[in-house]
Structure 1
Amino acid sequence: MFDWLPTDAIHLFFVLFLSFLIGLEREEHKTNNEPYAFGGVRTYPLIGLIGYSIAVLNSGEVLPQALGFAVVAAFLLLAYWHRLSSTGAPGITSEMSGLATYLVGALIYHEMFWLATALTVSSIILLELKTQLENLAKRIQATDILTFAKFLLLSAVILPLLPNTPLTPFKINPFTSWLVVVAVSALSYGSYVLQRVTKNQSSVLMSALVGGAYSSTVTTVVLARRSQQEEQTHLYSGAILIASGAMYLRLAVLLALFNRDLMSRLALPFIVLGGLAILVGWLWSRRGYAGAATMKPLEPKNPLEISAALLFAFLFVGMLVATHLAIEYLGAVGIYSLATVMGVTDVDPFILGMTQSAASSTPLSVAASAIIVATSSNNLVKGIYAFTLAPRKTGLESLCFLLGLAAGGLLLLL
């Protein structure tokens, strides 16, 4: 049918249709017995038509359209002043939606149909979800906004400024190194947010799963200490195993992000190991379950603190240098020794260092084996932590589980 109609008729149809939708949403205020509400199903289509007509009369020139925008804004300002003087109720949402309707008419003239539709839909959603959005704003704390701003600082401000070229004899790429920091911070921040969201109904198993995605070592220590306060051996030993299973899933995601060759070798085994550990841990935790045990959620350090990001960047660059020196002077044995030592603390800097050096100085098979050794070493150390900090039976079960998980990882070397 549009093929038979002139272009202006099609444009008018879209202007009336989209502006009518905005007016229809605003009409609800008149049915809610408000003393004064600006506009409705007639006013907003008229504003849209004014925006389109001014663009037509001036062949799309920017200045006349801007002057028309200013005139419409002046009328809307008078309407807002009248509402304040008559009712005293603040709120300029309806007037702002009127300005958006004017822009819809101008966009239709320039045949920016997608943008005009997106502007209309976005306006309607923002207007309709007033209560939900205001409740969300009340739940968000100032620290949460600051935390997200720090993430934007790390990713959208600092990252584009860094040179994307290898520097120094160790071929360290500043852009790639900081990109690794951003990726790890993003994953940790996702876990951090989940812990904040579920803090009021956090069970032991949920804390283990979410905390394991953040740091399985820290989670193991917290669960082991917590198990001294409750006589639920199977629950806590199973939860500790779940935390280590979540570590494998986290590492599979990081490998997929930074080295596809290593991912093709290790992602599937890591997903299988992680999924199996989580399943066995959950089944084991149900044995002799004594009720809906809950625990205070983990309170890890904000992963988007600038000091934490700089520390991780320093450790990552240090691992790149150490890996380069180890492969040059000690060969594969040096890499495996370094992997074993790094398993005692945080394996992320070493494993992500392997994703970068595997493309240059370290053979792919050696890098894959070193990652397996590091994860198995980390599981062994966590088993020792659990055995030391938890009650004897819980610690022994946790140690056996983590030794089995470490052995399962080493079987991949075959």
Structure 2
Amino acid sequence: MNLLEQAFGAQAGLAMGLMAALGSGLLIGLERERHKGRGHAGTRAQEPAGLRTFTIAALAGALAHGLAVPGLVAVGALAITVLAAMAYFRSSERDPGLTTEMALLATYLIGVLCVQAPLLGAPAAVTLTALLSARTALHRFATRMLREDELHDGLLLAALALVVLPLMPTEPLPWLAGMKAHSLMGLMLLLLGLQAFGYVALRLLGAQTGLALSGLMSGLVSSTATIAAMGQRARAEPPLFLACAAGAVMSSAATWLQASLMLLALAPEAAMSFLPMGGAGIAVAGGAGLLLARQARLTQKAQASDAAPATAKAVQRGGPLRLKEAALIALLLSVVTVVVSWAEQRFGSSGLFGAVALTGLADAHAPVASLAGLAHAGQIDARLMCQGVLAAIASNSLTRSLTAWLAGGPRFALIVASVLFSSLALAAALLWLLLPFLS
């Protein structure tokens, strides 16, 4: 900038904007020039604009803004629009698309932006060029890879995040133990987002990770249900025993992951105290799941490769989101929060742990969320919150171990229970070491 100031003085800003506009126009124009020969007719004369046209359009936008003549930017945009419309009508029979014409107008506006804010104009040009060059990949994704139910779920998730969430009240609700409707809605979106992430990962990675990744994704909704499903399949198809065990163990890693994320979403400050315990649980359960999955691939490659595609198809059926389950969990969270808050106020810490352990037998998510709400409201400290979370996970581990035995048999239950209580023991040891530092 110093060199520009020495060379152009007070016009150094305009000079930088013109250079940014020149580079932006050249970048977009190069992509359009290369695209000319790839049309339906296969002729280079098919596209009305190329390298020089796009560069001139960007420079025209920069000059229109730099000259500071009132209305000149709007007149220039109108002129570009008219020229683009004329070019479209001339080539519409051969190429009915509007991409080049719209890109020409966007390039003019990027040129204007380059003078106003060069650090925004240049990235905008790069983004537009990437979007134009990804035409084939985007077309394939929209028409071949993206299914109707996936599009529906994506739009639903976007609507909940961008429309519903901002409208939710942010005031604490006394009848909900001080929790906020906005936080509960955010928690529900977190559950849906984790479902979507696991679904996308499964589709991208394919059948190679199959049952293990399916277990991780399903565990974000219900680890108990996942262990039951994996146990039943392991009993019905013995060659898939290790792969099903990997899926069941990965679902327990999802429990630790989801507990950590829920605490961060609902009580960020207190959640920092739990992260070492959550990380230990994820490391033990996730590491065991990966080892089991690796062993399953090494010993049963043929059987695992036949079973994993079926798992992927089962996950894909009905779309990536399970809104009903997420909404029920959010509703359960509100009920459990009231119960745990009442028990803490009536009976103190002993009542709190009793309520947490009792509700944890059915589901670990609900007591974790209620403890986070109480910590955020200042009713309990970080030490009590961490102890309560471990009590909830320990209680739920008993349920999951019994489920594993009933669904998959003693050997299956031994593997699952060993991982469950090993991760819990390590987390408890870390909590005991960190207790003097928690408040």
Structure 1 gaps of 5+ residues are none
Deviates more, 1:139-148 or 1:208-217: 208-217
1:356 equivalenced with 2:373 (yes/no):
yes
Aligned length: 409
Q: Which of 13, 22, 31 is the equivalent residue of 1:16?
A: 22
Contact 1:50 1:102 in 2 (8 A): yes
Deviates more, 1:283-292 or 1:29-38: 283-292
1:299 equivalenced with 2:315 (yes/no):
yes
Q: Which of 367, 374, 379 is the equivalent residue of 2:397?
A: 379
1:46 equivalenced with 2:76 (yes/no):
no
Structure 2 gaps of 5+ residues are 433-439
d(CA) in 2 for partners of 1:128, 1:214: 38
Q: Which of 246, 249, 254 is the equivalent residue of 1:246?
A: 254
Cα distance change on mapping 1:114 and 1:397 into 2, 3 Å: closer
Code of the aligned partner of 2:194: L
Task: Give the number of the structure whose residues are more often helix, by fraction.
Answer: 2
Q: Which of 372, 386, 394 is the equivalent residue of 1:368?
A: 386
d(CA) in 1 for partners of 2:111, 2:426: 64
1:159 deviates by 2.0
1:404 deviates by 4.8
Secondary structure of the equivalent of 1:358? helix
Match of 1:118 in 2: 123
1:229 equivalenced with 2:236 (yes/no):
yes
Code of the aligned partner of 1:126: L
Q: How does 1:159-174 map to 2 (within 5 A)?
A: 159-168=165-174, 170-174=177-181
Normalised by the size of structure 1, how large is the TM-score? 0.87
1:315 equivalenced with 2:317 (yes/no):
no
Match of 1:273 in 2: 281
Q: Which of 361, 366, 369 is the equivalent residue of 1:344?
A: 361
1:26 deviates by 1.4
Code of the aligned partner of 1:106: V
Secondary structure of the equivalent of 1:148? helix
d(CA) in 1 for partners of 2:85, 2:398: 69
Deviates more, 1:362-371 or 1:394-403: 394-403
1:20 deviates by 2.1
1:400 deviates by 4.7
Query: CA offsets per residue over residues 65-102 of structure 1, 9 Å max, x none?
Result: 223212221111111111124xx222121111211222
Match of 2:6 in 1: 4
Cα distance change on mapping 1:66 and 1:159 into 2, 3 Å: same
Code of the aligned partner of 2:397: N
Query: CA offsets per residue over residues 360-394 of structure 1, 9 Å max, x none?
Result: 32344332222111111111111111111114433
Contact 2:254 2:282 in 1 (8 A): yes
Cα distance change on mapping 1:195 and 1:344 into 2, 3 Å: farther
Q: Percent identity?
A: 23
1:357 deviates by 0.5
Q: Which of 198, 223, 238 is the equivalent residue of 1:191?
A: 198
d(CA) in 2 for partners of 1:95, 1:11: 23
Code of the aligned partner of 2:156: K
d(CA) in 2 for partners of 1:274, 1:330: 33
1:267 deviates by 1.7
Match of 1:102 in 2: 108
d(CA) in 1 for partners of 2:360, 2:350: 16
Code of the aligned partner of 1:207: S
Match of 2:213 in 1: 206
1:28 deviates by 1.1
Cα distance change on mapping 1:40 and 1:363 into 2, 3 Å: closer
1:258 deviates by 3.0
Match of 2:85 in 1: 77
Code of the aligned partner of 1:118: P
Contact 1:245 1:274 in 2 (8 A): yes
Contact 2:192 2:323 in 1 (8 A): no
1:258 equivalenced with 2:266 (yes/no):
yes
d(CA) in 1 for partners of 2:421, 2:6: 75
Cα distance change on mapping 1:225 and 1:107 into 2, 3 Å: same
d(CA) in 2 for partners of 1:166, 1:397: 43
1:398 deviates by 3.4
Code of the aligned partner of 2:190: A
Cα distance change on mapping 1:215 and 1:309 into 2, 3 Å: closer
Query: CA offsets per residue over residues 161-219 of structure 1, 9 Å max, x none?
Result: 22222233533322223222223332233223333444544433333333334432222
1:128 equivalenced with 2:115 (yes/no):
no
d(CA) in 2 for partners of 1:18, 1:70: 21
Query: CA offsets per residue over residues 317-371 of structure 1, 9 Å max, x none?
Result: 2122111110122222222222222223221122011011023323443322221
Query: CA offsets per residue over residues 253-296 of structure 1, 9 Å max, x none?
Result: 33233334543432212211321233234445628933351343
Code of the aligned partner of 2:217: V
1:126 deviates by 1.3
Query: CA offsets per residue over residues 291-310 of structure 1, 9 Å max, x none?
Result: 35134325398685654454
Match of 1:154 in 2: 160
Query: CA offsets per residue over residues 127-165 of structure 1, 9 Å max, x none?
Result: 111111212212112222221222222222222222222
d(CA) in 2 for partners of 1:18, 1:283: 49
d(CA) in 2 for partners of 1:207, 1:191: 8
Cα distance change on mapping 1:69 and 1:397 into 2, 3 Å: closer
